[in-house]
Amino acid sequence: MIRGLFIAGLLLGAITSASAQTTLRVGDQKGNSQAVMEAAGVLKDVPYKIEWKEFPAAAPLLEALGAGAIETGVVGDAPFTFAAAANVSVKAIGAIKQSREGLAILVPRDSHIHSFDDLKGKKIATGRGSIGHQLILAALESRGWSTSDVQIVFLAPSDAKVAYTQGSVDAWSTWEPYVSQEEVLFQSKRLLSAEGLASGLSFEVASSNAIRDKRPELEDFLRRLTAARQWSLTNVNAYAETWGKLMNIPPAVAINWLNRAKIQMAPIDDGVVAEEQKTIDLYFRAGLIKQKLNAADIVDRSFAGFLGKGAGL
């Protein structure tokens, strides 16, 4: 702990002297990182400015990062793979691990569909290249089905919600907090989750320019986010209340999500790289990406010291 504090002190000093109130532009999804950091109180003495930008899903966040509108953000492993294959200048600098129950294929509460097998020939909404898309592909492959055995309808979350509610699609393959919103507020039923099918990994990613030009800020941000995530494991209600206010959604949704998610930051190690390679291979087999990437080439392990249990404030 003393060593962590010493490193933190050196880091803060370096940022204060070198950055002179620089700005780190951070992409967020549904108030995910901002809410937990605000609730944990880790943003009170940040020696640089954080400019938060909200996105409904990972795809537009990654587009903004590729265009230089933001410098870092959290995304699922599947859309990260999609972006890397499209030659977006992005690397994963930290991993986020959580339960796989929050990635699921849902049907409305009054649906006559009771299992994934009942979806043969039916319409499933999800985002192209998203972790929802990844789950559909993994479920199809596990059954020896092809993509032609279901009708995948690619929609942004807001449009998918409308189509799902109106009955224009039969099911919705989505992620948190959308899953908990549907379960808690509308009693949607899950047909399956990502348990046993997908990694459930997300990544804190950064542009190559930010890694080069704003490393002290990125290191400090990761340290604070890690501390906030550790705090949230034993302070679910406080985190849920902050998130609910930020997103204008009942805290019960977040409580449902966070109690099962158990979200934690983790360094990028051999295990994380191996899981990301599985996602790459799945997308390559499905023809979603045309080049088979090497996972080790699209991650940056040099931030590992600012993640995990040793990253105290």
Q: Any idea what the CATH number is for the domain that residue 170 is in?
A: 3.40.190.10
pTM: 0.86
Task: Please indicate, yes or no, whether residues 134 and 207 belong to a single structural domain of this protein.
Answer: no
Task: Please indicate, yes or no, whether residues 301 and 204 belong to a single structural domain of this protein.
Answer: yes
Q: What is the pLDDT of residue 199?
A: 84
Q: What is the pLDDT of residue 31?
A: 86
Domain range for 131? 101-193
How many domains is the chain built from? 2
Last residue of a domain, one of 146, 177, 193: 193
Task: Please indicate, yes or no, whether residues 108 and 75 belong to a single structural domain of this protein.
Answer: no
Say how far apart CA 39 and CA 232 lie, in whole Å. Answer: 8
Say how far apart CA 312 and CA 290 lie, in whole Å. Answer: 41
119 falls within a domain: yes
Task: Please indicate, yes or no, whether residues 8 and 20 belong to a single structural domain of this protein.
Answer: yes
Q: For the purposes of burial, counting CB atoms within 10 Å of the CB of 167, is it exposed (0-12), middle (13-18) or buried (19 or more)?
A: exposed
CA distances from 155 to 118, 130, 163 (A): 21, 10, 9
Q: What is the pLDDT of residue 200?
A: 81
108 falls within a domain: yes
Task: Please indicate, yes or no, whether residues 217 and 267 belong to a single structural domain of this protein.
Answer: yes
Say how far apart CA 70 and CA 242 lie, in whole Å. Answer: 24
Omega before 177 within 30 of 0, i.e. cis = yes
Last residue of a domain, one of 193, 213, 232: 193
260 falls within a domain: yes
Question: For tokens 């339960």, what's the residue?
Answer: 99
Q: How far is CA 123 from the centre of its chain?
A: 25
Task: Please indicate, yes or no, whether residues 240 and 267 belong to a single structural domain of this protein.
Answer: yes
Q: How would you write the pLDDT of the chain (313 residues) with one tens digit per residue?
A: 434 433 444 455 545 444 458 999 999 998 889 999 999 999 999 999 999 999 999 999 999 999 999 999 999 999 999 999 999 999 999 999 999 999 999 999 999 999 999 999 999 999 998 999 999 999 999 999 999 999 999 999 999 999 999 999 999 999 999 999 999 999 999 999 999 998 889 999 999 999 999 999 999 999 999 999 999 999 999 999 999 998 899 999 999 999 999 999 999 999 999 999 999 999 999 998 998 899 999 999 999 988 865 455 6
Question: For tokens 């700005």, what's the residue?
Answer: 23
Last residue of a domain, one of 176, 193, 210: 193
